Amino acid sequence: MQRKRFARTVLLCLSLLLAACGGGGSPTQSIPSTRSFAMGFTPWPYAATVAAVNDTYAKINANGDIVAHHLDSGIPWQEALDGTPYPSAVESEIAARVSNTAAGKKVYLAISPLNTARTGMADYWNNSGSGQPLPAPWNGYGFTSTEVQTAYINFATDLITRFNPEYFNLGIEASELILNDAKDGGSRYSDYLSFVAVVAPALKTSFPNLKLMVSVGLKYPGTPEAQLLETYLPSLVGYVDVVGASVYPYAFFGHANAGDPANLPANWLSQLQTIAGSKPVAVAETGWIAENLVIPSLSVNVSATADNQAAYVQALSSQAQAMDAKFVIWFSVVDFVDLWTNALGQDPIAQIWRDTGLYDGTVAARPALTTWQKWYGYSLTP
């Protein structure tokens, strides 16, 4: 998962530049005439151009009833604490996201207090970009610091007011804190629980109708990592209204023939309900490759086809329906081949998600888009 976080940092930095403008694989049940879950995307662009950004928003607004805005690589900590204007790059990014989200769409907003490695508090976000090193005195603070809690509440309150989200995630993949603590005996998860114990009630008081969330990076069911999450996450779940999943099984489950969703275990997604208990669930981010994924430097070799991707969309939708999920977010609507080749310098880590679009690198529709649109065509139940 840390590899994934690094790739996301690169992509988030790029987005700032653009702001100026078994198994679940072959479900047999029929598609119903209604669906329980909203369907949507994040606005990741497929090229470093204003035209690509605009086209990305056009496609996600046309093919979804919810838009996901993940702010996952930093917070303007001092400005948020002081109530002073954000750095211009931060303000530009926020304003661009708000203005490009079509009226009438649901919004899922995520502002992570965690850094991308999930080892501590989020980095700084300023005019140099997101993911900047924390300056003094912030580099000496932690989740139990009053300054951190207050700054986060202030920043979240401002953005919730501006985005008007239905769902708000205050812990993107908070599960990784548990796993990192297990590796080195840290107390970061305990400190984070103290943070949430202050932040969650404060946001609920200001926004009583807002649905608070955390998300979980799902592991292959039954593994020691999955069992560890089932043991420790319930202490966090009590503070929120919805529990989301971050799930990319083709890359991170580690099973054989991972490019074919027919090889997924039956509870690949429903394991989330064990963690959530009685709380509703959602798919906070997911995707599936439509082409072979070969990255020698990372020892990755996964065979997949466009038909495999379409089968995953069907499996995902059927599982979400069976779980009465609140929403499903597909991360990249178009393959970011151009972005990867040029702006990202063919970064091998970013390649893991490069070919997960419902449109390919030439912006031609894949079979998975037809499956997605079939589900999207059914009425969303209240």
* pLDDT tens readout for residues 54-83: 999 999 999 999 999 999 989 999 999 999
Question: Cα dihedral sign for 38, 171, 122, 117?
Answer: negative
Mean of the per-residue pLDDT values of the chain = 92
Q: Which among 24, 39, 112 has a CA at the least distance from the CA of 329? A: 39
Which residues are within 8 A (CB) of 181 and not within 5 positions of it... i.e. 6 or more apart? 187, 188, 189
pLDDT of residue 166: 98
Region 242-253: what's the mean pLDDT? Answer: 97
Question: Cα dihedral sign for 55, 57, 60, 64?
Answer: negative
pLDDT of residue 30: 54
Phi-psi region of 61 (alpha: psi -120 to 50; beta: other; left: phi over 0): alpha
Per DSSP bridges, beta strands 293-295 and 300-302 are antiparallel
- The answer on pLDDT for 204 being more than 70 is yes
- The C-alpha atoms of residue 4 and residue 348 are separated, in whole angstroms, by 11
pTM of the model: 0.92
Task: With cut-offs at 50, 70 and 90, classify the pLDDT of residue 32.
Answer: low
Q: Letter for the amino acid at 183?
A: K
pLDDT tens per residue, range 311-352: 999 999 999 999 999 999 999 999 999 999 999 999 999 999
- The answer on pLDDT for 245 being more than 70 is yes
- The C-alpha atoms of residue 240 and residue 169 are separated, in whole angstroms, by 9
- The C-alpha atoms of residue 328 and residue 316 are separated, in whole angstroms, by 9
Region 192-200: what's the mean pLDDT? Answer: 98
Give the number of C-alpha atoms closer than 13 A to the C-alpha of residue 132, restricted to the C-beta side.
Answer: 16
Region 273-288: what's the mean pLDDT? Answer: 97
- The answer on pLDDT for 5 being more than 60 is no
- The C-alpha atoms of residue 259 and residue 263 are separated, in whole angstroms, by 8
Region 172-176: what's the mean pLDDT? Answer: 96
- The answer on pLDDT for 176 being more than 90 is yes
Task: Output phi, psi for 262, to 5 deg.
Answer: -65, -20
Q: How far is CA 265 from the centre of its chain?
A: 22
- The answer on pLDDT for 50 being more than 70 is yes
pLDDT of residue 382: 78
- The answer on pLDDT for 171 being more than 90 is yes
Residue 234 CB burial class (10 angstroms; 0-12, 13-18, ≥19): middle
- The answer on pLDDT for 104 being more than 50 is yes
Residue 7: CB atoms within 10 Å: 21
Structural domains of the chain, with CATH = 2-380 (3.20.20.80)
How distant, in Å, are the alpha carbons of 3, 131, 192, 253 from that of 266?
Answer: 27, 37, 32, 13
